[in-house]
Amino acid sequence: MPNCASAAALRSCPGRLRAPRLRTWGRVCAALLLLATAGPAGASGGEAAPERPCEPWLTGEALPSDAELEAAGARIGRIELRQRNIFDPDQPGEDFWGFRLVNRLHLTTREETIRRRLLFAPGEPYEARLLAESERLLRAERFFYEVTIRPVAYCGGRVDVEVTTRDVWSLKLSGGFNRKGGENDWHLTAQESNFLGRGKDLTLSHAHDVDRTSTLLRYRDRDLFARRLDLEAAWSENSDGRFYRLDLARPFYALDGRRSWGGRWWDARRHESRYHLGRIVDQYQVEHWYAELGGGRATGLVDGHTRRLRFGASWDRRRFAALPQQPLVRPLPADRELLYPWIAGEWIEEEFVELANLDRIHRVEDLNLGRRANAWLGLASRHAGSDRDAALFGASWGEGFSGRGGLLLAGASFSGRIEPPGLRHGLGSLQLRYYRRLLGEHLFHAALHLDAGHRLDADTQLLLGGDNGLRGYPLRYQEGNRRALLILEQRFFHDRELFHLVRVGAALFADLGKAWTAGEPGPPSLGLLRDVGFGLRLGSSRSAEAAVVHLDVAWPLDGPRGIRRVQWLVSTRETF
């Protein structure tokens, strides 16, 4: 059985993701023929190069390398689309009447939907980087299972490019049930993530969780009017209030993007709960209005990185009120209204790698190991509509490191407000995730999460429990202004696809965590809490959600006697 633990290896597995390029002797032949076949540069300005007889066409192993094509000044010729449906009748086991019926019912992604997401066009200079980035952009869409973009033929200075996509079933009519931390959630959802094959997302859902019951209608269009405008509109009526949202932006669509602009608005009213030992100690009502307008300029991609400057203004207003017949155990949070201009700088290095069987089962995962850094500063004034004078700030950093058979992903952030008499709502975070192949092509995974707060607003709690990593304990069990969590997992992947619908994985895990209060009055700490357990993972291979069903059993090793000695957890996530 082929090794399917890496993205490169997946290309030789059943349902391979990319065909092999060329061998050394093919490159030598291609280099010798390159000068003979290189002709005029061809058309530019995004128009297709004119058809003309050309001999010989170089294909397969004789195709020049990316570097040779770029050095020769090659231009894009034809862009051929190969659109594959959900099931392939030519594959063993997929020529089944039920699968053929699904293919007939499914509307394949429209050709123009794919072409508008490409960063290259006929007549433009050939750049392998743009092919790779276009592939990532398409792969990020929820309605594709796999995407490959590769040059397939070269002659007369023209490179023909083949774009191969495979759709997934994009209509979701489902009900779901989750059990985490001793609490049950459920939902009923109707979602079409590729409406009429045009890449639009339309969702209607009714859900219940520990906080509220809600009915949601949501529309998302990432290519509004075929202008690469990103629109999201959401309307939700909840048992404790409402939520309305409208976002419209033209983002930095590509790494080489030069301009962006956008705006967002939301109006929310809800009940917030404060927790201690997994139980609600009090509740209050919050009304939250937010609006933002901004734009950005960028240098474009230069020497493998881009620098971006963003600017804009934000309005953030929150009003808090006690609920009738709901006595407060702790002080009611203070109202806040902040209106401030802001400026932000961003640095992104391009160092993408394709991997597989890390956080997803048998799917390509695009990871950027390059350095990403962001910092922003805003100024609020009583004289400009705010209820206080304050400097708001934030900074974040992320980077990946690989070597000696392991992969480390690191990230950190810090944000807060400077207002009399000093730092307020300061919140710092550090995340480390480590991956290493162990026991053959299976995976050892370790994750460390550290959070620290300083003079946090009264509506913010750092909580830890069965719903966010400490699987052997009730949800929202510990609280404080400090939080630490270590997760250790041995992940097992199986290469076979059950019934051509599901891929299976498993995990052995141990969690260690603690939340506590430092430097301020707060509840006593319960100390370090530990749990161990195992679980089954069922990953959908034909649906747009790429959902992974988690079936876990966890045993708490610490805590008072009132905790159940076995926790049964059922949840659906997008990752392992």
- Total domain count, the chain: 2
Convert the pLDDT of each residue in 296-317 to its tens digit: 999 999 999 999 999 999 999 9
Of 503-507, 543-547, 548-552, the poorest mean pLDDT is in 543-547
User: What pLDDT does residue 49 have?
Assistant: 44
Does 270 map to a domain? yes
pLDDT of residue 15 exceeding 90, the answer is: no
- The H or E element that residue 99 is part of is helix 97-105
pLDDT of residue 10 exceeding 60, the answer is: no
Is 87 strand, coil or helix?
coil
Instruction: Quote the tokens at residue 35.
Output: 């000068």
Among 309, 307, 400, 305, CA closest to 349: 305
Banded pLDDT at 181 (limits 50, 70, 90)? low
Does 391 map to a domain? yes
User: 144-165 as b/e, with b when 16 or more CB fall inside 10 Å?
Assistant: bbbbbbbbbbbbbbbbbbbbbb
pLDDT of residue 22 exceeding 60, the answer is: no
133 and 212 together in one domain: no
180 and 94 together in one domain: no
Structural domain boundaries, residue 140: 7-167
Domain boundary among 137, 167, 197: 167
Mean of per-residue pLDDT scores for the chain: 89
307 and 333 together in one domain: yes
User: What pLDDT does residue 160 have?
Assistant: 96
- Residue ranges of E strands in 140-278: 144-155, 158-167, 171-180, 183-195, 200-208, 213-224, 229-238, 241-250, 259-276
Of 53-62, 265-274, 529-538, the poorest mean pLDDT is in 53-62
- In the numeric block, the tokens 């992974």 are attached to 548
* Rounded-to-integer distance, Cα 334 and Cα 284, Å: 12
Most confident of the following: 7-11, 128-132, 362-366: 128-132
Region for residue 227 given its phi and psi (left: phi exceeds 0; alpha: psi -120 to 50; beta: otherwise):
alpha
Does 226 map to a domain? yes
* Rounded-to-integer distance, Cα 318 and Cα 337, Å: 6
Longest dimension (CA), the chain: 86
pLDDT cut 70: percent of the chain above it: 89
* Rounded-to-integer distance, Cα 517 and Cα 391, Å: 26
Is 101 strand, coil or helix?
helix
Banded pLDDT at 523 (limits 50, 70, 90)? confident
406 and 510 together in one domain: yes
Banded pLDDT at 176 (limits 50, 70, 90)? low
Pairing of strands 336-349, 305-322: antiparallel
162 and 176 together in one domain: no
Banded pLDDT at 213 (limits 50, 70, 90)? very high
CATH code of the domain in which 163 resides: 3.10.20.310
**Better pLDDT: 182 or 77:** 77
Most confident of the following: 231-245, 520-534, 551-565: 231-245
Convert the pLDDT of each residue in 390-431 to its tens digit: 999 999 999 999 988 899 999 999 999 999 999 999 999 999
372 and 360 together in one domain: yes
Banded pLDDT at 534 (limits 50, 70, 90)? very high
123 and 185 together in one domain: no
255 CB-contact burial (10 Å; exposed 0-12 / middle 13-18 / buried 19+): buried
Tell me the average pLDDT across 255-270: 97
Does 22 map to a domain? yes
pLDDT of residue 153 exceeding 80, the answer is: yes
User: What pLDDT does residue 207 have?
Assistant: 92
Does 1 map to a domain? no
217 and 346 together in one domain: yes
User: What pLDDT does residue 211 have?
Assistant: 86
Cβ–Cβ < 8 Å for 429, 408: no
* Rounded-to-integer distance, Cα 5 and Cα 8, Å: 8
Banded pLDDT at 42 (limits 50, 70, 90)? very low
* Rounded-to-integer distance, Cα 537 and Cα 66, Å: 39
Quick one: CA torsion of 297, 302, 306, 309, rounded to 10 degrees?
-30
User: What pLDDT does residue 374 have?
Assistant: 98
CATH code of the domain in which 352 resides: 2.40.160.50
pLDDT of residue 12 exceeding 80, the answer is: no
List beta partners, residue 535.
507, 552
User: What pLDDT does residue 336 have?
Assistant: 98
Banded pLDDT at 545 (limits 50, 70, 90)? low
User: What pLDDT does residue 182 have?
Assistant: 64
pLDDT of residue 5 exceeding 70, the answer is: no
User: 276-296 as b/e, with b when 16 or more CB fall inside 10 Å?
Assistant: bbbeeebbbbbbbeebbebeb
176 and 111 together in one domain: no
106 and 220 together in one domain: no
Domain boundary among 116, 148, 167: 167
- The H or E element that residue 279 is part of is strand 279-298
pLDDT of residue 221 exceeding 70, the answer is: yes
pLDDT cut 90: percent of the chain above it: 74
Of 106-115, 292-301, 491-500, 561-570, the poorest mean pLDDT is in 561-570
Quick one: CA torsion of 217, 142, 538, 431, rounded to 10 degrees?
-90
Is 352 strand, coil or helix?
strand
- The H or E element that residue 29 is part of is helix 24-37
pLDDT of residue 479 exceeding 50, the answer is: yes
58 and 190 together in one domain: no
Tell me the average pLDDT across 505-527: 91
* Rounded-to-integer distance, Cα 264 and Cα 245, Å: 8
User: 440-474 as b/e, with b when 16 or more CB fall inside 10 Å?
Assistant: eebbebebbbebbbbebeebebbbbbbbbbbbbbb
User: What pLDDT does residue 1 have?
Assistant: 41
Phi first, then psi, for residue 96 (nearest 5°) are -115, 140
* Rounded-to-integer distance, Cα 347 and Cα 48, Å: 35
Q: Report in angstroms the alpha-carbon separations of 79 from 149, 162, 163, 460.
A: 10, 6, 7, 52
Pairing of strands 279-298, 482-498: unpaired
Does 2 map to a domain? no
Pairing of strands 259-276, 229-238: unpaired
User: What pLDDT does residue 30 have?
Assistant: 41
* Rounded-to-integer distance, Cα 524 and Cα 421, Å: 27
DSSP state of 97: H
Does 154 map to a domain? yes
Encode 103-164 in three state secondary structure. HHHCCCCCHHHHHCCCCCCCCCECCHHHHHHHHHHHHCCCCEEEEEEEEEEEECCEEEEEEE
377 CB-contact burial (10 Å; exposed 0-12 / middle 13-18 / buried 19+): middle
Q: For Cα atoms 512, 487, 492, give the angle at the middle one, nearest 5 degrees.
A: 135
Cβ–Cβ < 8 Å for 291, 264: yes
Does 230 map to a domain? yes
237 and 310 together in one domain: yes
Domain boundary among 167, 190, 212: 167
Among 324, 329, 368, 364, CA closest to 350: 368
